Amino acid sequence: MDDLIADFVAECREMLEALGGEIVAWEANPDDRTRLDSIFRFVHTVKGNCGFFDFPRLEALSHAAEDALADCRAGRRTPDSALVSAVLAVIDRIGEMIASIDAGEGVPAGDDTQLIEALAPGAEGPAVQASATVMTDATGKAGAAPRTIRLSVELLDRVMSGVSDMVLARNELARRLREAPTEVAVDGAFERLSGIIAEMRDAITRTRMQRIENLFVALPRMVRDLSAELGKQVLVDIDGGDVELDREMIEMIRDPLTHIIRNAVDHGIEAPADRIKAGKREIGLLSVSARQSGNQILIEIADDGKGIDGAKLVEKAVANGVIEREAAQKMSRGEQLALIFEAGLSTAQSVTAISGRGVGMDVVRSNVERIGGLVEVDSTPGKGTRMILRVPLTLTIIPALTVSIGSQHFAIPRSAIEEIVRANGSSVTLEQIGGAGVATIRGRRVPEVALANVLGLPNTMADEDRTLVVLRPAGGDVYALAVDKIHDHEELVVKPAAPAVMATGLYAGTTLADDGSPILLFDPAGIAQVGGVKLEAIERAGRGVDAPVAINSSEVPVLLFRGLDGARRALRLGVVDRIEEVEPDAIRTTAGQLRVQLGEAILPLAGVANAEEINGKIRVFRLNDGSHELGYAFREVIDLMAIDRDVIPADVPGAVSGVTLIDGEPAELIDAHWLFAEHLGAAVRPHAQLVCRLPENDAWMQNMLRPIVEAAGYLVIGEQDELAADVTIVSQGKDVEPGQGGRILRLAADPDAANGEDSIYRYDRAGLLMALKASSASAGRR
C-alpha cells in the first residue's frame, strides 16, 4: 500500500505541475474549453483514487469541484471569476493535502465547508493563495515517505537512441576489422567493448519495461471496496501479471483500466438478489488478463453481468443529438455498442460517486488510441460484457525478418511467420477468386496479398519470381504475403512511428538496420485488413484441401530440387517438414559431424561435405521422420512432381537410392532412411528397444561401460527399476538379486578369470559387443 500511495502522490504532483500554467490561463480566459477539460480530468482522477485510498475529505472536495466543472462542460453554467477563484482555492487545498500525505502525515483534519459552498452558483469566490505553495517540498519533515526519481520518457528515448547508434557503429567497426588484419589485443578490446554496449542496451531497455503486475496489484482492493459500497459480491480473477509493458503505456492505460472496472462493478454486475432472480449465482465474476500476442499486448476485462443494452444506447444517443434517428435505424450491433465511447453518453439511471456521468469511456478510447492502441467491446445482454485493450509494443526488442520491395526494406515480426516458400512451379500456384488473390501451397489454399500493391509501389517482378511469407497474425487467419526478396533474421529495437504513419494501420513501429537506414515494422493484422484479405470466404472455399496434392496411387509425390553441386535430385514430399534459409555461421562441425542451427534446434546436416563449401546463405530442407529431424542443404527447388515406381536402384547403399526420369531428364532419388540412419546413428532407436541393467553405484560401469551399451542400441536402467531387463551386467563376484531377469554378464578385472561367454574381461570391447549382439539375437527369437 505504501508503494501505491507513493505512486498516487507522484502522479498528483506531476499533474499539479502541468496544471500550473493551465489554471492561470483559465483564470485569464474562463471560456477556454481545453483548459477546463484539463482541470476537470485532474479533479476527476483525484476523486477516483481517493475512493480507493480512503481519503474521504480529499474525495469530498474533489467531488464538489467535479460537480461544478461538469455543469460548465455541459453548458448548464457559465464560468465566472468567482467560480474560477473557488476552483483555484480547491486545487490549492488539494496540493496541501498531497504534500501532507507525502510527508507521511496523512490527510490533515480540517473543514472544507466554505470552499465547497464557494463553488455554488452566486457564491463569492474565496481568496486564493499563491499557487507556488502547492508544490512545497516535504522531504525535510520527519517521517517523510521515500522519494523516487521520475524521468521523462523523452529523456529515456534519447539515451536509447544514443545506445542504438553505438550498436550501429560497433557493427560497422566489426565489418572493418573482419576485412583488415588485426592484432589479438585489438580483437580482445573490441570484444570487451561489444559486451559493454550490449549490457548498456539491455539495461536501458529494461528501464522502460515494467511488469503489468504492478498495475494489477491494486485491482482486488478496488473491486472489494466498490462492491462493498454498492452492496454487491464480486470475485476477481487476474492472470498474466508477468507480461512486461512499456512504462509509459502502463501509465496511459492505468486510468482507462480503472474506468472500465468501475463501470463493470457499478453497471455491469447486478446486485445479489437480481442475479439470483436471473438464474445466476449471487457472486459476480470479473476477470482481468493480459497476454502478449505477436507485436501487441492484449488486456481483457470481462464480467458476467447484465451486459450492455444496445437499444438503450441508441435511444440516448438520439436524444442527445449524437446521431440522427435515420442513421440509428441502420446501425449494426457492433456500431451500437461503440456508442458507449461517445462523450457524455451514459445509460446509468443516476449519478454516483463511482460512475454514471458519461465521463470516462471517451477518456478510455482517447488514451488508448493516443498510443496507437484499440479498444474493442463485445456484450451479450443478460450474460456479460468483454472489453479488450490492444496495446502495441512501442519500445521492445523483437526478432524480425527483413524483406524488400524493389529498393525499400521492411521488417515483419518473426512470431507471426509460419513458413517461407518460393512462388514458382506447381508446388505453389497463384490465382484470383472473386477478385482476391489465393495461393495454393502444397495443396493448402490461403489468401495472398502482394505487398507492392498494398504499398502502391511499382510491381516490377513477375508473380512466379516472388517469395511468399506465410503469416498468421495475432487473433487472425493464415495468409501469404508476396515480397520481392527476403534478407536477414535480426533482433530489432522497435520504436513508435510518426502518427501519420501509424494511422495507415500497416505498421507497428520503426527501427534501424545495422547500416543506420530506417526500417518500418509491419503489423501483419493491419496488412491483412488494408489488403482486403477475404479470409472467411477463402477459408470456406479451401476447406478440406489441406491434404497433400491428389496424385494417383501408382505415383509418388516428390520435391524436385537442385543440390549445392548442381545435380538434379528428388526427395519424397512426405518427409519434408519445411524450407528455411540459414547464414553460413549457423553451420559448423561439432561432435564429429556437420550440424546446422535452426532456431532453438541443432540438427545434423546432409547435402554438403564440409562448411568450406558454403558461400553465403543457403537453403535447408527440414526433414522429419515423425520423431527426429535432419537438415539437408540444397540450392533451389525446381518443382513439385510425381514419379512412378520405375526406378533404377543404386549398386551400393548410400544417400542416393536410385535414378529415374523426371520431366524427361534423369534425377537422383534421395534415400531418406539411409540419411537418418547415417547421421543420427544410435539416436534412432528400434521400436522394440532392448533393456540392459547396470549397477547405479558403480562409477566405472556408469562412466565407461554405459556409453558402449547405449551405442549398441540398449536402454540402460538401474537396479531399482522395475522394468524387465534383457541383459544384466555386474562385476565378477557380485551377487544378482532374484528377479533381475535376462542374461547375466559378469565383467572380470583379470583377463585370466574370464571364460569369454558369461564372464568377459572388462576391457575386451569386441567380446562385450559380441555378447550384447548375441543377447539381442536371443531376445529377437523370444
Would the pLDDT of 555 be above 80? no
Phi then psi for residue 494, to 5 deg, are: -95, 130
Reported as a pLDDT band with limits 50, 70 and 90, residue 683 is: very low
pLDDT at 287: 92
pTM: 0.39
Q: Which of 721, 730, 648, 657 is nearest to 691 (CA)?
A: 721
> 303 falls in which pLDDT band (50, 70, 90)?
very high
pLDDT over 60 at 231, yes or no: yes
Grid coordinates belonging to 517: 537506414
Nearest C-alpha neighbor of 120 from the set 153, 143, 90: 90
> What is the CATH T-level fold of the domain 2-135, as seen in this structure?
Four Helix Bundle (Hemerythrin (Met), subunit A) (1.20.120)
Predicted confidence (pLDDT) per residue in 471-483, tens digit: 877 545 688 888 8
Asked if 771 and 760 touch (Cβ cutoff 8 Å), the reply is yes
Q: 281: how many CB neighbours lie within 10 A of its CB?
A: 12
Residue position matching grid coordinates 538434379: 568
Residues 80 and 30: beta-carbon distance below 8 Å: yes
**Stretch 354-382: mean pLDDT:** 69
Cell numbers for 778, please give them.
536371443
Specify the CATH architecture of the domain 213-392. 2-Layer Sandwich (3.30)
* β-strands 568-572, 665-670 pairing: parallel
**CA count, 13 A, side-chain hemisphere, 400:** 28
Please tell me if the domain spanning 213-392 has the same topology as the one spanning 556-682. Answer: no
The larger pLDDT score, comparing residue 695 to residue 663, is at 695
**Residue (of 98, 510, 128) closest to 295 by Cα position:** 510
* One-letter-per-residue 3-state SS of 423-489: CCCCCEEEEEECCEEEEEECCEEEEEEEHHHHHCCCCCCCHHHCEEEEECCCCCCCEEEEECEEEEE
Q: How confident is the model at residue 654 (pLDDT cuts 50, 70, 90)?
A: confident
560's CB contacts (< 8 A; 6+ apart) are 568, 569, 570, 637, 638, 639, 640, 641, 662, 663, 667
Q: Is 636 helix (H, G, I), strand (E, B) or coil?
A: strand
d(CA 248, CA 371) in angstroms, rounded, equals: 9
Q: Which CATH architecture has domain 687-781?
A: 3-Layer(aba) Sandwich (3.40)
Residue 185 has pLDDT above 70, yes or no: yes
* Start-to-end C-alpha separation, the chain: 72
* Bridge-based pairing state of the strands 467-471 and 444-450: unpaired
pLDDT at 295: 56
CB neighbour list of residue 434: distance below 8 Å, 6 or more residues apart: 534, 537
Is residue 302 pLDDT above 90, yes or no?
Answer: yes
The three three-digit cell numbers of residue 174, written as one number:
566489426
Q: For the domain made up of 402-533, give the CATH fold.
A: OB fold (Dihydrolipoamide Acetyltransferase, E2P) (2.40.50)
Q: Enumerate helices (H) and strands (E) in the chain, giving the number of each.
A: 23, 35
Instruction: Delimit the domains of the chain by residue range.
Output: 2-135, 153-211, 213-392, 402-533, 556-682, 687-781
Q: Which of 38-42, 139-143, 268-272 has the lowest mean pLDDT?
A: 139-143
Max CA separation in the chain (angstroms): 119
CA–CA dist 197, 501 (Å, integer): 30
Beta bridge partners of 634: 619
d(CA 382, CA 396): 40
Confidence of residue 301 (pLDDT cuts 50, 70, 90): very high
Read off the C-alpha cell for 254: 492505468
The rounded distance, in Å, linking the Cα atoms of 265 and 763 is 77
Cα separations in angstroms, 379 against 257, 292, 340, 387, 476 = 17, 23, 11, 8, 21
258/55 Cα distance (integer angstroms) = 18
Kindly report, residue by residue over 280-297, the tens digit of the pLDDT. 998 999 999 988 765 578
CB contact at 8 A, 264 and 301: yes
Burial category of 191 from C-beta neighbours within 10 Å (exposed 0-12, middle 13-18, buried 19 and up): exposed
Lowest mean pLDDT among 29-33, 224-228, 466-470: 29-33
* pLDDT of res. 269: 92
C-alpha cell recorded at residue 381 = 445482454
Supply the pLDDT for residue 126.
59
What pLDDT is recorded for position 137? 38
Question: Which runs of E-coded beta strand occur in 115-255?
Answer: 209-211, 234-239, 244-246
* Measured distance CA(390)–CA(298) in Å, rounded: 5
Reply yes or no on whether the pLDDT at 609 is more than 90.
no
In single-letter form, the type of residue at position 393 comes to L
Distance CA 91, CA 78 (A): 20
CATH number, span 556-682: 2.40.50.180
Above 50 in pLDDT, residue 696? yes
pLDDT band at 436 (very low <50, low <70, confident <90, very high): low
Has residue 135 got a pLDDT over 80? no
The per-residue pLDDT for 681 is 55
Residue whose cell numbers read 553460413 = 584
Taking each helix axis from N to C end, the angle separating 219-230 and 33-53, rounded to the nearest 10 degrees, works out to: 90
Nearest alpha-carbon partner for 489 in 385, 357, 399, 623: 399
Q: Is the separation of the CB atoms in 556 and 591 below 8 Å? A: no
Name the pairing type of β-strands 576-582 and 593-598: unpaired
Encode 689-731 in three state secondary structure: CEEEECCCCCHHHHHHHHHHHHHCCEEEECCCCCCCCCEEEEE
Across 129-133, 210-214, 382-386, 447-451, least confident range? 129-133
The pLDDT assigned to 419 comes to 81
To which residue does cell 515480397 refer? 483
Helix then strand then coil, % of the chain, to nearest 5: 40, 25, 35
C-alpha–C-alpha distance, residues 216 and 289, integer Å: 9
Return the pLDDT at 134. Answer: 33
Over residues 532-543, the pLDDT tens digits come to 764 433 333 333
- Percent of the chain exceeding pLDDT 70 equals 78
Q: Does the structure show a pLDDT above 50 at 257?
A: yes
Residue predicted with more confidence, 175 or 734 = 734
Which amino acid is residue 647, in one-letter code? V
Closest CA to 465 of 414, 430, 418: 430
Q: Which residue has the cell 526433414?
A: 623
Backbone angles phi, psi at 459, to 5 degrees: -95, 85
**d(C-alpha 336, C-alpha 308), whole Å:** 10
Average confidence (pLDDT) over 441-454: 81
Predicted pLDDT at 153: 66
CA–CA separation, 214 and 292 (whole Å): 16
Q: What is the pLDDT of residue 28?
A: 62
CB 229 within 8 A of CB 271: no
- Residue 356: the pLDDT is 43
Choose the weakest-confidence range: 130-139, 379-388, 689-698.
130-139
- Percent of all residues in the chain with a pLDDT value above 90, rounded to a whole number: 4
What average pLDDT does the chain have? 76
Q: What is the mean pLDDT of residues 746-767?
A: 82
Alpha-carbon distance of 326 to 195, in angstroms, equals: 66
pLDDT at 385 over 70: yes
